[in-house]
Structure 1
Amino acid sequence: MTVLGEHRTGVVGAITSRIEVKLADVPDMDLVALRDNRGEICVKGKRCTKGYYKDPHSTAEIFDADGWLHTGDIGEWTSEGALKVVDRVKSIFKLAQGEYVAPEKVEMVYQGCQLIDQILVDAKPEHNFPVAVVTPNFTNLRSDFYRHLISCKTKDGQLSELKPSDISRLSDTDICKIKEVRRLVLQKMNEVAVENGLKGFEMVKSVYLNDNPFTIENGLLTPTMKLSRHKARRHLQPIIEMLYSERDFVKINV
């Protein structure tokens, strides 16, 4: 808190009584608190919140086994002993080959694709590429798929019976299930990725099309309309596992 007579800027003030503060290592950002004098700000004590209201899962995600609340802020101690906030803990995934993927950066690039309304990028350490769950812009998707059917002849049995005129009778759910539609979305996504300089290991190799948008009501968006990454990952875990298991789909797009 800021005390009377405190005129320094850029710091959060003095540490009050009945609360403890420490800086914790952040391996994914290569931060070692003792070495760098920087780390994730962690607090505990009687003045500390006990968690999210009626949300034990989210509460468990921010408290460690020793009762420290992990704030998600990166801080450092000044020479005067004041605490300064300098950054945020970034969501970073390490791939099997040792490369790191920052999903927020990748998602921001893919949001430039006209076929996408919402996107979650995820990766697992036992795999060497990320995957994505996408809520499409169905107006643009139907238009692009219509042009695709006109301009391309495919050997895919699922599409051999489809004509451009059939698109209007397909529901959004039907559209999402067609593999050739998924491949079309992935192709357009990675065209945008190349244009914006994403590295090969950052590019999504498999995509799931989701006809149920992320909303505040289903808990996948925060009240400020940002993606609730931890909740979304937990909710979509079966889909993410399925994407990694689709070897035929992934092989075509690697």
Structure 2
Amino acid sequence: MSNVTSFLQKNVNLYPTKPALGFKKDHEWKELGWYQLKRLVFKTANALKASGVKENDKVSIYADNSAEWIIFDLAIMAIGAVTVPVYSTNGEDQVEYIIKDSGAEIIFAGNQEQYNVCQNLLNKGLPLKQIIVSKKYIKLKENSSYLETFIESASEDLEIVERGEDDLATLIYTSGTTGVPKGVMITHSNFLKAFDAHMEFFKFKRFEDEHSLAFLPLTHVFERSWTLLCLHFGAKVSFLENPKLIASALTEVKPTMMCSVPRFYQKIYAGLNEMVNSGSDLKKKIFNWAIENGSLFSEKKRLNQSMPFGLNIKNKIANALVFGKVKKKLGGKLWFMPCGGASISAEVTQFFDAMGIHITVGYGMTETTATITAFPFTKYKYGTAGKLLGDSQIKIGENDEILVKGSGLMKGYYNKPEETAKVFDNDGWMKTGDAGFMDDEGNLVITDRIKDLMKTSNGKYIAPQPIENMFSNNSYINQIMLVAEDKPYVTAVIVPNFESMTEKIKSLGVTFTNWVDVVKNEKVLSFYHQLIDDIQKDLPGFEKIKKFVLMPADFEIQSGEITPTLKIKRNIVIQKYKSIIDAMYHHE
């Protein structure tokens, strides 16, 4: 059967006693078995049918991660309808646009804020007719019902709808760093072929015993396709509703697998370095010794070479003294960590490898149903995005643009034939908008987003991402955006790491009043001047930051300054802080 939800019946038979989902309720982690999951999905599916949802109709989900999110998603797809997820951080305008464009008549809303947005949209002449909520604390108004009531009298029996090669499973609106959101059409076949390609590439053993923690938004293709893959092959998935609680969730859930973005690892890397640097000389010595031995150990492992007895012993000691403590903070069982959504520096991946925490770097996009390339378990190469997965193909086009083909390619952009035509060439290759090359060993190397490449007024080209990564690997810098397009030199908009700085300003003799004042303080500015000069000492002159401004608050997803995978939306930040940026060039 070619419906992405067909695993439900199969897994009830294969794993009758295994848990399928994990979720937190009343401050406690609970489980749902395969039979209960199938029952809830089928009841929800029948309730949707009773509400008039037919094959190919669009149904929307506007909520944070939860067990209900995935149940609703599976129910929609099981009856041949199309799931339209909306980022829980999206504001009313974006939700309105997606409802209008997709034609969704029913929406599942998460919390009070999301429910209020949906209520406001009911009277705007949109297709939207009905709101379903799962949280009982929400006071219902017109055209609304609780999920529990909605499915109460629905049957538990369902014939999952057969789907053809071209039938849509979902429309994912790309948040993108530019422009109007576009609905990416992903088919059942896209998902199913992606699942098999991953299995063949990684050759997992006893996958049904794995436990994944869904921490990135399910609206994003990366977390959604990974979660569906896990369920497809019988692994348990636990859902984290509030991503800010990731630290405690890791130790409570103790997952074996988790998708993440580079920022997650950069923060741990910066934090560990900061902790070691402010520790005693003995602590530094032990840590550096452990990393040195860990690097030798992980290098042997990477190259699939036999391990010398002495190195094995040293690595066990390093684990006991240093690495074990870090692993414990990640729950103690985490071993498979696919990482995508932005670029990550070789320095960070090597550091984690040395600790025995392997990050599986990959490259993909919504339009390719996530992964195109990934690190294999051995013989991967740092600084690359790994090797081709499944039947994916890559060729390098004009301006070194990466062009892709393969069974993961989207059907196109919904209601946007011109936009679709723009991204495909005459031979069916899709333009990714990323620049890069394939090395001699078949690894993809990404240089930058083509539209992010900057040309200074002196004619020099600058690729911002690798430089920004150098800085954001530091524990005093949370976010950084370079500015250089048509400018005589490079400047930077920097968001400090306020946590590290709270301690630092004490040693600088600065009294905390508020961040607006602190980031303008001479001693603080002088500290950052020195820090920037140290980090960029090996960069060529034209790539060096000449001036910078410190921001008093983080860039936020809600304000549209960063995407849900924490990439800075350059155009928006440049527009929003134009006067601040212009001021860095005025005095020349």
Q: TM-score, normalised by structure 2?
A: 0.27
The change in CA–CA distance for 1:104 and 1:75 in structure 2 (over 3 A counts) is closer
Cα displacement string for residues 116-140 of structure 1 (whole angstroms, at most 9, x for unaligned residues):
111111113241x211111112343
The change in CA–CA distance for 1:186 and 1:86 in structure 2 (over 3 A counts) is closer
Q: How does 1:233-252 map to 2 (within 5 A)?
A: 233-247=574-588
Deviation of 1:11 after TM superposition, in Å, equals 2.9
Aligned amino acid, residue 10 of structure 1: S
Deviation of 1:230 after TM superposition, in Å, equals 2.8
Question: Is this contact kept in 1: 2:515–2:553, CA < 8 A?
Answer: no
Question: Is this contact kept in 2: 1:214–1:220, CA < 8 A?
Answer: yes
Aligned amino acid, residue 192 of structure 1: I
Aligned amino acid, residue 458 of structure 2: Q
Deviation of 1:113 after TM superposition, in Å, equals 2.7
Q: What residue in structure 2 maps to residue 167 of structure 1? A: 511
Give yes or no for the alignment of 1:193 onto 2:554: no
Question: Is this contact kept in 2: 1:95–1:125, CA < 8 A?
Answer: yes
Higher RCO structure, 1 or 2 (CA under 8 Å, sep 6+): 1
Cα displacement string for residues 146-204 of structure 1 (whole angstroms, at most 9, x for unaligned residues):
434xxxxxxxxxxxxxxx3x513x2111111224422321221221222xx32222111
Aligned amino acid, residue 486 of structure 2: P
Give yes or no for the alignment of 1:11 onto 2:393: yes
Cα displacement string for residues 206-244 of structure 1 (whole angstroms, at most 9, x for unaligned residues):
111111211110111111222222322232222211122
Question: Is this contact kept in 1: 2:561–2:572, CA < 8 A?
Answer: yes
1:130 to 490, 503, 514: 490
The change in CA–CA distance for 1:73 and 1:106 in structure 2 (over 3 A counts) is closer
Distance between the aligned counterparts of 1:103 and 1:75, measured in 2?
14
Q: What residue in structure 1 maps to residue 519 of structure 2? A: 176
Question: Is this contact kept in 1: 2:402–2:432, CA < 8 A?
Answer: no
Q: What residue in structure 1 maps to residue 422 of structure 2? A: 68
The change in CA–CA distance for 1:244 and 1:71 in structure 2 (over 3 A counts) is same
Q: What residue in structure 1 maps to residue 470 of structure 2? A: 109
Q: How does 1:49-60 map to 2 (within 5 A)?
A: 49=414
Question: Is this contact kept in 2: 1:40–1:74, CA < 8 A?
Answer: no
- Secondary structure (helix, strand or coil) at the match of 1:68 reads helix
Q: What residue in structure 1 maps to residue 373 of structure 2? A: none
Unaligned runs of 5+ in 2: 1-165, 167-188, 191-389, 405-410, 424-430, 438-443
Distance between the aligned counterparts of 1:207 and 1:124, measured in 2?
15
Unaligned runs of 5+ in 1: 13-22, 32-37, 52-61, 77-84, 149-163, 248-254
1:230 to 557, 571, 581: 571
Q: How does 1:77-116 map to 2 (within 5 A)?
A: 89-90=449-450, 91-116=452-477
Bigger share in helix = 2
Distance between the aligned counterparts of 2:433 and 2:467, measured in 1?
20
The change in CA–CA distance for 1:208 and 1:74 in structure 2 (over 3 A counts) is closer
Structure 1 or 2, whichever has the larger Rg, is 2
Deviation of 1:74 after TM superposition, in Å, equals 5.7
Q: What value does the CA root-mean-square deviation take over the aligned residues? A: 3.8
Deviation of 1:71 after TM superposition, in Å, equals 4.7
- Secondary structure (helix, strand or coil) at the match of 1:214 reads coil
Aligned amino acid, residue 476 of structure 2: L
Question: Is this contact kept in 1: 2:436–2:445, CA < 8 A?
Answer: yes
Deviation of 1:100 after TM superposition, in Å, equals 1.8
- Secondary structure (helix, strand or coil) at the match of 1:167 reads coil
